[in-house]
Structure 1
Amino acid sequence: MDIHPHWMRDGAGPLYQQLYQYFREEIQSRRIPPGTRLPAVRALSQSLLLSKTTVETAYHQLLAEGYIESRERSGFYVVEWEEEIVGAEPRARSVPFLPSTQRAGTKPDAHGEQIVPIRYDFHQARVDARHFPYDLWRRYSNQCMQLENREILYYGDPQGEPVLREQIAAYLQKARGVHASTDAVVLGAGTQLLIHLLCCLFRLDRPVVAMEEPGYNGVRVVFQQHGFPIIPIPLEEDGIRLDALEESEAPLVYITPSHQEPTGAVMPYAKRTRLLQWAARTGAYIIEDDYDGEFRYQSKPIPSLQGMDQAGRVIYLGTFSKSLLPSIRISYMVLPPELLRVYQEQLSEYDQSCSRIHQETLALFMKSGQWERHIRRMRTIYGRKHQAMLSSLQAAFGQRVRIKGQNAGLSMTVEVPSALTPEELASRALSAGIRVYPTTKKWLTSPAEQPPAFQFGFGGLSLAEIEEGIRLLAQVWTPYLGSG
């Protein structure tokens, strides 16, 4: 069918929202009747001179709200619904007229300037979805959803499904040297939720929390919202400064020793030993966030702090968000004996936040051996992307930038000598269709003399996109760079 929206010249809003509103009102008024197949994304984008992303986003909004359905290998179709749901009178169309300068997918910002669509997004937490084992995951998910396994439809174990906790404990012992029993593993829908649970465990004392400076702001905000005072501890080249940590007298410290967030520093074995001695001597707890410990590219991972701990002072956190997919929302923590007892006494009434279906699917995935195969494959893929990012930065910027935190994880930090602020540099990049991420938010108090720094993620980009994106970024930034 042909689509000829009557755009209104005085309208406003993102292009995808305008297109979504047009279709919604046409469907509600039954001018597009149930059962109608909507135009293909490519065809509609060419017809209306809109980007494919704009059309896809509008369609997915209609899909999410139940106006259309997706039929495999066929397209999008308008669904059947009851007449009274629609309402008696169709509302006036609110999709504005699109000037020709906007129809290529750009849109004006608050100052009326055109913003180029994002071509290269260097977000530090993006993963490679192209190599996700879709067929295997679907197979194990279908295996869980058999008629004889009806129990999966009900509430599960509040601490997490035992079959998955068993697999996680065995994997951590083998891969990260973590001493974990099935009973000591607690599952949660993301690291922030696990930190929330820990805040509940410590809420009576509400202790001061020491955190790396800079550090992971996503965890810091949870502590702050629970009313826990934060003491920022400066970093050295190999991680948190132990003398400053001792001086803080903090009874609780959150650290990312295997790949410091955001600088990428790796805490060496000797320093880990001294940190554990401090915790045993003072009775402090260490929250060890091993968020991407699977990925090191030039040496084997250093054993976890928890695996070296003899005094029961380490709370170990891990996640499947980097190693598998963030959308399955499964993270885990391993509690030391004393805290496990408190957890089971005080938080046993909390329902499990992770999908039971995803838990059992992941358990089958791990039990079959596919998990470790996936990790080995992704380590190779990310290793190539890591090298591509490093080579591209060096070729494009040479000695003018300082690269930190390479050889591990899914990102590296780049310090840029420039008189512009990080936000100004990010804005220049955005004008060329490149999204970069300043580390400003990682600081509780950002020092005035700190050069602009950015976290460059490479997990979600192809090798060609990494090279092309960095080359284009160098063209945009070069006029604003100092000598380094």
Structure 2
Amino acid sequence: MLEITLNLYEDKKDPYYVQLYRHIRQEIKSGRIHAGTRLPAIRRLSEHLDISRNTVEAAYLQLVSEGYVESRPRSGLYVLKLEEDFSFLEKVTNQEPGRQDAEEIVETKPAASPVLRCDFRNGTIDLSSFPFSVWNKISHQIMQEYTNSLSLYGDPQGEPGLRHQLAGYLRQSRGVRCSPDQIIVGAGTQQMLLLLCQLLGTERQPVAVEDPGYNGARSVFSELNFPMVPIPLEEDGIDMEYLMKSEAKLVYVTPSHQFPFGMILPIHKRIKLLQWAAEHDRYIIEDDYDSEFRYQGRPIPALQGLDKSGRVIYMGTFSKSLLSGIRISYMVLPESLISKYKDKKAFLEPTASLIHMQTLERFMEEGWWEKHLRRMKNVYKKKHAFLLSAITRFFGERVKVIGQHSGLHIVIEVNDGRSESELVRKAEEKGVKVYPTSPYWITFDTQLPPRLLLGFGGLSENELEAGIRLLKEAWT
């Protein structure tokens, strides 16, 4: 069976379906995918590439409309034989006319990549501290006790027991006011956003997003044809005056730990935001993606807990606090949207694993979740402090740290005259991966000094030390 693998880039202007369509078209033109080949099923390819089925379907429809593939009833999509041979294009790509014949082209090997010595990738977690023995024991118990029910899909809204545990946890830890009936559990924040957008039914109505902000949310809005209104940030978060002057019908925010810059939305702005939503019949999507990890000061209650008008849609995830691979996220809907969801529920299937949901429910019920969370707070607090100390020791005041005191990443500002791309390249030459923040912008200001994102959750103190030392060598 044909497998299609490619890199999909969120920072490109082209949406995923265009990138996928162009990749397959080029593979067909070059002859690397032969006539008569059956393309992977939509569901299989969406799972393989970790993208939505709608994205794959849109790419396939474009290929059908342009005559590269055809749909055969009850069989699938098959590549058609092209009237023109495009394979010669592969030999002369980027070749200037008259410079050399195709026979004279010498294949050159790419330069060897440096050995990766430290990867400051965001979103990684400390697997060494996870209680695998406890998790596996509970999972095994679930498999034995619920053998018959595991043949079923489960509740599309998420298992009732897990939603009950979540409601209690969110009330105590985040000040979220909700009943289990208001919670929907699913496989990832993007999947939750897809479902939410379908419920809101506001296609092609403007949605305000923080600029810079989480590009995973932007990709969902873009795929569903929601025009985005970029709202600039001030030192204390989203610019409320700019938002109130916009025509946005919906706003997506990260008020407790702005992504990627880490500021916390103060109470006076939170009240203004809630007033804006209540007075203009708007909704606020509050993404509380890593609120568990705050290293200084008191915990910041969720915006949802202040909401008296039912205008806040609260979202959270276990990807940062538990295991990314179990793919469990959730959202809390206001009462006004629950009825809409109930109307659609009969036609929906659960997206999160039944086994994982039931395991997590018991993990929380037996108190393991609280123990694990307390431990991880201490683990990440120590790593966070160590990273800041290493930056100070090696760089002094030559770099500025942005967004400290919470979360699993920091941002550093390097104002030495070099560009963002040059700093990233120099780091890679030393075997260190740091990540640009420019992809998180819609209206990127090239005059701003370069700001780079450093994730630290999955790195040891030795790796953090080595990584910062190598960065100093790379940027000296």
Query: Which of 448, 451, 454 is the matching residue for 2:449?
Result: 451
Aligned-partner Cα distance in 2 for 1:163–1:151:
14
Q: Deviation of residue 424 (structure 1)?
A: 2.1
Distance 1:347 1:446, change over 3 A: farther
- In structure 1, the partner of 2:310 is 312
Q: Deviation of residue 111 (structure 1)?
A: 6.9
User: Which secondary structure state, in structure 2, belongs to the residue aligned with residue 114 of structure 1?
Assistant: coil
Question: 1:190-231, CA deviations, whole angstroms, 9 ceiling, x for partnerless residues?
Answer: 000011111111235532100000000011011001000000
Query: Which of 378, 403, 406 is the matching residue for 2:404?
Result: 406
Residues 207 and 251, structure 2, Cα contact 8 Å, conserved in 1: yes
Question: 1:150-186, CA deviations, whole angstroms, 9 ceiling, x for partnerless residues?
Answer: 2123110011100111111110000000011111000
Aligned-partner Cα distance in 2 for 1:346–1:136:
36
Aligned-partner Cα distance in 2 for 1:435–1:134:
29
- In structure 2, the partner of 1:227 is 225
- In structure 1, the partner of 2:245 is 247
Query: Which of 429, 444, 459 is the matching residue for 1:431?
Result: 429
Question: 1:268-327, CA deviations, whole angstroms, 9 ceiling, x for partnerless residues?
Answer: 222212211221111110000000000100112211000110000000000000001110
Residues 256 and 265, structure 2, Cα contact 8 Å, conserved in 1: yes
Aligned-partner Cα distance in 2 for 1:179–1:273:
17
Distance 1:419 1:364, change over 3 A: same
Aligned-partner Cα distance in 2 for 1:343–1:402:
45
Aligned-partner Cα distance in 2 for 1:274–1:470:
40
Question: Where does structure 1 lack aligned partners over 5 or more consecutive residues?
Answer: 1-63, 65-109, 479-484
User: Which secondary structure state, in structure 1, belongs to the residue aligned with residue 397 of structure 2?
Assistant: helix
- In structure 1, the partner of 2:84 is none
Q: Deviation of residue 423 (structure 1)?
A: 2.0
Query: Which of 267, 279, 282 is the matching residue for 2:280?
Result: 282
- In structure 2, the partner of 1:127 is 125
Spell out the pairing of 1:391-402 with structure 2 (5 A cutoff).
391-402=389-400
1:356 aligns with 2:354: yes
- In structure 1, the partner of 2:263 is 265
- In structure 2, the partner of 1:481 is none
Query: Which of 118, 139, 145 is the matching residue for 2:116?
Result: 118
Aligned-partner Cα distance in 1 for 2:248–2:401:
32
Aligned-partner Cα distance in 2 for 1:161–1:217:
29
**TM-score, with structure 1 as normaliser:** 0.75
- In structure 2, the partner of 1:24 is none
Question: Where does structure 2 lack aligned partners over 5 or more consecutive residues?
Answer: 1-47, 49-107
Distance 1:165 1:343, change over 3 A: same
- In structure 1, the partner of 2:196 is 198
Q: Deviation of residue 346 (structure 1)?
A: 2.8
Aligned-partner Cα distance in 2 for 1:416–1:148:
55
Residues 157 and 345, structure 2, Cα contact 8 Å, conserved in 1: no
- In structure 1, the partner of 2:173 is 175
Aligned-partner Cα distance in 1 for 2:310–2:351:
26
- In structure 2, the partner of 1:187 is 185
Letter in 2 for 1:190: G
Letter in 2 for 1:169: A
Letter in 2 for 1:181: S
Aligned-partner Cα distance in 2 for 1:148–1:337:
32
Aligned-partner Cα distance in 2 for 1:272–1:420:
37
**TM-score, with structure 2 as normaliser:** 0.76
Q: Deviation of residue 149 (structure 1)?
A: 4.0
- In structure 2, the partner of 1:144 is 142
Aligned-partner Cα distance in 1 for 2:168–2:467:
40
Distance 1:469 1:156, change over 3 A: same
* Comparing 115-124 and 228-237, the one that deviates more: 115-124
Residues 269 and 302, structure 1, Cα contact 8 Å, conserved in 2: no
Distance 1:288 1:111, change over 3 A: farther
Letter in 2 for 1:319: T
Aligned-partner Cα distance in 1 for 2:247–2:420:
33
- In structure 2, the partner of 1:67 is none
Residues 144 and 152, structure 1, Cα contact 8 Å, conserved in 2: no
- In structure 2, the partner of 1:3 is none
Letter in 1 for 2:237: G
Spell out the pairing of 1:143-162 with structure 2 (5 A cutoff).
143-147=141-145, 149-162=147-160
Runs of 4+ aligned residues of structure 1 deviating over 4 Å after TM superposition are none
Q: Deviation of residue 469 (structure 1)?
A: 0.7
- In structure 1, the partner of 2:468 is 470
Aligned length: 370
Question: 1:43-80, CA deviations, whole angstroms, 9 ceiling, x for partnerless residues?
Answer: xxxxxxxxxxxxxxxxxxxxx9xxxxxxxxxxxxxxxx
Q: Deviation of residue 112 (structure 1)?
A: 2.9
Distance 1:264 1:141, change over 3 A: same
Residues 268 and 302, structure 1, Cα contact 8 Å, conserved in 2: no
- In structure 1, the partner of 2:163 is 165
- In structure 2, the partner of 1:11 is none
Q: What's the RMSD between the two structures over aligned residues? A: 1.5
- In structure 2, the partner of 1:298 is 296
* Comparing 332-341 and 113-122, the one that deviates more: 113-122
Residues 429 and 436, structure 1, Cα contact 8 Å, conserved in 2: yes
Spell out the pairing of 1:76-115 with structure 2 (5 A cutoff).
112-115=110-113
- In structure 2, the partner of 1:441 is 439
User: Which secondary structure state, in structure 1, belongs to the residue aligned with residue 229 of structure 2?
Assistant: strand
* Comparing 356-365 and 110-119, the one that deviates more: 110-119
User: Which secondary structure state, in structure 1, belongs to the residue aligned with residue 316 of structure 2?
Assistant: strand
Residues 254 and 286, structure 1, Cα contact 8 Å, conserved in 2: yes
Letter in 2 for 1:127: I
Aligned-partner Cα distance in 2 for 1:192–1:454:
24
Residues 399 and 414, structure 2, Cα contact 8 Å, conserved in 1: yes
Aligned-partner Cα distance in 2 for 1:459–1:150:
38
Letter in 1 for 2:431: G
